Amino acid sequence: MENLSNIGVIRDLLARHGFRFSKALGQNFLVNPTVCPRMAEQGGAGPGVGVIEIGAGVGVLTAELARRADRVVCVEIDGRLLPVLAETLAGFQNVEIVNADVMKVDLRALIAEKLGGLRVVVCANLPYYITSPIVMGLLEQRLPIESVTVMVQKEAAQRLCALPGTREAGAVSCAVRYYSEPKVLFPVSRGSFLPSPDVDSAVIRLDIRREPPVDPGDEKTFFRVVRAAFSMRRKTLLNCLSAGLPLPKERAAALLERAGVPAGARAEQLTLEQFAAVSRALAEEP
């Protein structure tokens, strides 16, 4: 079916199927014809590639992915969209819709079963109510994927892609940077969606690293340190680590000294390498 990003076509399609948007499921469908082709291209859909999509909507991005990639598997939670998608994607033999909650699906098994032998990328216009759990889940599971190209709220894009050591950085930015090389690809205005959300969006791409960029010693300790460091935004690192790990203040101070990190620093001033140094020093504690 043509013109899946045309607002009149979508309204007509959804009316015929008696479909009503669910706010709770983050259903804002793309109606800007330039966005999906760009996402599919820059997300790496092409020959030899299998794509995992999350949330098909009426299949506007799914179709662009299917035109370029060998196979597309899309996880969509809303069963009411299945008859709509059966109509809009009828021309594609290389698409499969899995009617499930992406937070409950075994993505590793799904990839092995349905995309075996292909290079795999994730490309999706994410439901905004679970952006971070989805992105972090994709990264932490260490799935056999090359990249994650997703539309997220503009603020989430800035947070996910912020460089550790800069003011915008938080615990999530550190984790994203540890697992991937993130990049903001392009902005998308709120008017590009039906219904229009209250905020603008951006498409980001996370290129998955084969090796972590730093040696944290023990990974669990590294993430404990990062979480504790960012737990109280206006406090010093010394106070955050002492309260969050938890550790007596003198031990936290000695730890930072061994790691070569100033006790008065704030979490957002630390590079990933400095977090790794604190993590190694903590792991070596007697």
Q: 127 vs 216, which CB is nearer to ligand SAM? A: 127
Query: Least distance (Å) from ligand SAM to the CB of residue 86?
Result: 15
CA distance 71 to 65: 8
Q: Can you tell me which of 14, 30, 157, 278 binds ligand SAM, judged by CB under 6 A?
A: 30
Closest among 39, 198, 180, 175 to 128, alpha carbons compared:
198
> Rule CB under 6 A: which of 62-101 touch ligand SAM?
75-78, 101
CA distance 188 to 154: 8
> Rule CB under 6 A: which of 44-63 touch ligand SAM?
54-57, 60-61
Residue 30 marked as a ligand binder: yes
Query: Least distance (Å) from ligand SAM to the CB of residue 123?
Result: 10
DSSP string, 118-161: SEEEEEEE--GGGHHHHHHHHHHTT-S-SEEEEEEEHHHHHHHH
Q: Can you tell me which of 14, 27, 44, 51 binds ligand SAM, judged by CB under 6 A?
A: 27
Residue 218 marked as a ligand binder: no
Cα 83 to Cα 13, 25, 220, 255: the distances in Å are: 11, 18, 44, 59
Report the 10 Å Cβ neighbour count for 214: 19
Q: Can you tell me which of 50, 122, 125, 225 binds ligand SAM, judged by CB under 6 A?
A: 125
Q: 36 vs 272, which CB is nearer to ligand SAM? A: 36
Residue 101 marked as a ligand binder: yes
Fill in the amino acid letter for 97. I
Query: Least distance (Å) from ligand SAM to the CB of residue 73?
Result: 12
Bridge partners for 188 per DSSP = 201
Residue 125 marked as a ligand binder: yes
Whether 149 and 203 have beta carbons less than 8 Å apart is answered as: yes
> Rule CB under 6 A: which of 261-280 touch ligand SAM?
none
Q: Which residue's Cβ has the minimum distance to ligand SAM? A: 55
Q: 40 vs 225, which CB is nearer to ligand SAM? A: 40
Could you identify the residue written with the tokens 């966005």? 35
Whether 283 and 217 have beta carbons less than 8 Å apart is answered as: yes
Query: Least distance (Å) from ligand SAM to the CB of residue 162?
Result: 23
- Which residues would be at the binding site for ligand SAM (CB under 6 A)? 25-30, 54-57, 60-61, 75-78, 101-103, 125, 127, 130
The binding site for S-adenosyl-L-methionine comprises 28, 30, 55, 76, 101, 125
